[in-house]
Chains A and B, each alone.
Chain A
């Protein structure tokens, strides 16, 4: 691992809950305060939404003189484990307790404060009870009870198009994450309103800015003698809007830092300078090791390399699989898909790197956080930097993988860098982009999500749809606009071909043929109902027919998957599809 850029966080790993957690230590600027702060993440989808805010808060607090640890609970994020494992709630709380001890050990602080958003706050309260001696709690929109959170999960799960696979067993899938029957049962036991003893003498409760009222917690805790400040600060709604659209409200983070500073004197005496942190990778099932990598200009790019066991076949160990961000989702991918895929492929002998493109997640890049368009060109440079780094590790073959806008980056990088051996493009919605071409029919149309026209054709066979049409329950105009885009694009192409008296070839198709002729393999995986399928089949023909016979091209349409492969069953289908393809290609 190259040294971190000055002032940057350091990746760490520590034992917790019978396994291990991945985290980041942000060292205090200057002499430091005697209190260290542990940041406890919310669960599931909300952990993705809040990632950038947590990173920004850690930096803010470190600048203010606090040593800070942010981390993933066991079974989440980049840590070991899975949400399918037993005893999740206990593991989450145990992870916080272990993180608190690790922060004390690494930073030499003698007091602790815990911060959490939503269930992160609820779990922080639970951990504070176990730890004892926690000086203060900062709770942003805490879930008052686990039961309240489970109700929300139930409502979200109901909003999904497909019933959860294991609902008969009592498991629930909500917003891309699995909550087993045991997890749901154990969540019900959490209650941070009814407390017997104060979990900390001081608490700051930051209220949601999108719902009225402060809830029962502040009053209940004051009755128990806790000094509680309940503040209405902006930022919650914009932080939670969607993982790839979240906004960091810096003023609110500054206010939290000020609140903590008010009761936190500097360290009594400067101790010995902290020892450098050595990252000792722990083992995952199957003998996989995960190692943090910094690379690119001034080490400004970050990723996690999953190394298969040494005894694997050389052809696979020399093959690196790179996962590319979906929108502004950080490297674990939507629904933690990239972690599941990266570990499954590493278990088969491939090296895998899930990393953050410049301006996303933990890759600050050279120009700060990325804003706006996911399709802007320039990410190819980051991909080439990752290939350079993996080449230095001995890799000779490089596969790029991306869902949605990640597949755009893969395609553009494959065009730009001849070292790319193959690409797996999943649920692509656009593979080319022209800045300023806002009127381009595909660019304009694909900014809105519908279903594939194949889906609507199938729906027209169902009588219920006509009843819904008559009741005005179907977005006829929106669907008609999308179908119109497909028809208009095809008509324009046909007219163009007639006028030019030759078979025209659009950019994407000719580019794909060029990549293929170079020997680069392409696997296109499209969910049957995904509306990107219209775009892909416009360019490549139905099920890739325009590329038929090309040994370096394959298109597979998978059933039962949504756009981000959010269900457990959908992820299994995808991973098996990709694994089989890679194994077949690695034999050649």
Chain B
């Protein structure tokens, strides 16, 4: 079971290391659009891989969508679905 606070912190760490955002991840609102914040399609792949490593999950094909990786909140929702949290 993923603790909500821990999950968000881990997602932010992944975004900091792999998202290549134009702004400080710590200052991002959970709903902010990550693509508008500078995350490229190429960077989003690394974000996906790093999230899978960090949470020991694999995003199924139907989750490989823009709206799943578009914000911290949407990533958290998707991870919640995958882990049953």
Are A474 and B36 interface neighbours, CB within 8 A? yes
Question: In the complex, A45 Cα to B43 Cα: how many Å?
Answer: 12
Closest CB of chain B to A471's CB: distance in Å?
5
Question: In the complex, A242 Cα to B37 Cα: how many Å?
Answer: 17
The residue on A at minimum CB distance from B70 is A473
Closest CB of chain B to A2's CB: distance in Å?
38
Are A475 and B53 interface neighbours, CB within 8 A? no
| Chain B: number of interface residues, binned into ranges | 20 to 34
A231 at the binding interface (Cβ < 8 Å): no
Question: In the complex, A240 Cα to B45 Cα: how many Å?
Answer: 12
B10 at the binding interface (Cβ < 8 Å): no
Are B53 and A212 interface neighbours, CB within 8 A? yes
B50 at the binding interface (Cβ < 8 Å): yes
The residue on A at minimum CB distance from B67 is A158
B83 at the binding interface (Cβ < 8 Å): no
Are A158 and B18 interface neighbours, CB within 8 A? no
Q: Among the listed stretches A20-28, A148-156, A257-265, which one makes contact with chain B, having 4 or more residues with CB under 8 Å of it?
A: A148-156
Are A155 and B69 interface neighbours, CB within 8 A? yes
Closest CB of chain B to A459's CB: distance in Å?
12
Are B31 and A473 interface neighbours, CB within 8 A? yes
The residue on B at minimum CB distance from A159 is B41
Given contacts A152-B45, A158-B69, A159-B40, contact A473 B35 (CB under 8 A): no
Closest CB of chain A to B48's CB: distance in Å?
5
Question: In the complex, A478 Cα to B32 Cα: how many Å?
Answer: 12
A480 at the binding interface (Cβ < 8 Å): no
The residue on A at minimum CB distance from B17 is A210
Are A45 and B42 interface neighbours, CB within 8 A? yes
The residue on B at minimum CB distance from A479 is B36
Question: In the complex, A210 Cα to B45 Cα: how many Å?
Answer: 13
B9 at the binding interface (Cβ < 8 Å): no
Count of residues in A whose CB is under 8 Å from the partner chain: 27
Residues in B with CB closer than 8 Å to A463 are none
B76 at the binding interface (Cβ < 8 Å): no
Question: In the complex, A158 Cα to B45 Cα: how many Å?
Answer: 10
Are B41 and A160 interface neighbours, CB within 8 A? yes
A-contact bits for B44-83, CB 8 A (1 contact / 0 none): 1110111001000001010011101111000000000000
Question: In the complex, A43 Cα to B67 Cα: how many Å?
Answer: 26
The residue on B at minimum CB distance from A151 is B64
Closest CB of chain A to B65's CB: distance in Å?
5
Are B33 and A152 interface neighbours, CB within 8 A? no
Given contacts A152-B49, A156-B42, contact A474 B69 (CB under 8 A): no
B-contact bits for A220-256, CB 8 A (1 contact / 0 none): 0000000000000000000011100000000000000
Are A156 and B32 interface neighbours, CB within 8 A? no
Are B44 and A473 interface neighbours, CB within 8 A? no
Central interface residue in A155, A156, A211, by most chain B CB within 10 Å? A155
Closest CB of chain B to A155's CB: distance in Å?
5
A-contact bits for B1-37, CB 8 A (1 contact / 0 none): 0000000000000000110101000000101110111
Question: In the complex, A447 Cα to B1 Cα: how many Å?
Answer: 43
Residues in B with CB closer than 8 Å to A457 are none
Residues in A with CB closer than 8 Å to B35 are 159
A273 at the binding interface (Cβ < 8 Å): no
Closest CB of chain A to B47's CB: distance in Å?
9
Question: In the complex, A132 Cα to B53 Cα: how many Å?
Answer: 35
Known: A152-B49, A160-B66, A475-B37. 4 other contacts (CB 8 A): A155-B69, A158-B44, A242-B42, A478-B36
Task: Pull 10 A–B residue pairs with CB atoms less than 8 Å apart, ordered by A.
Answer: A155-B45, A157-B41, A158-B64, A159-B66, A210-B17, A210-B18, A210-B46, A211-B49, A242-B42, A474-B36
Binding site for B on A (CB under 8 A): 45, 151-152, 154-160, 174-175, 210-213, 240-242, 448, 468, 471-475, 478
Closest 8 CB pairs of A and B: A159-B41, A475-B36, A159-B44, A154-B64, A156-B41, A472-B29, A473-B33, A155-B64
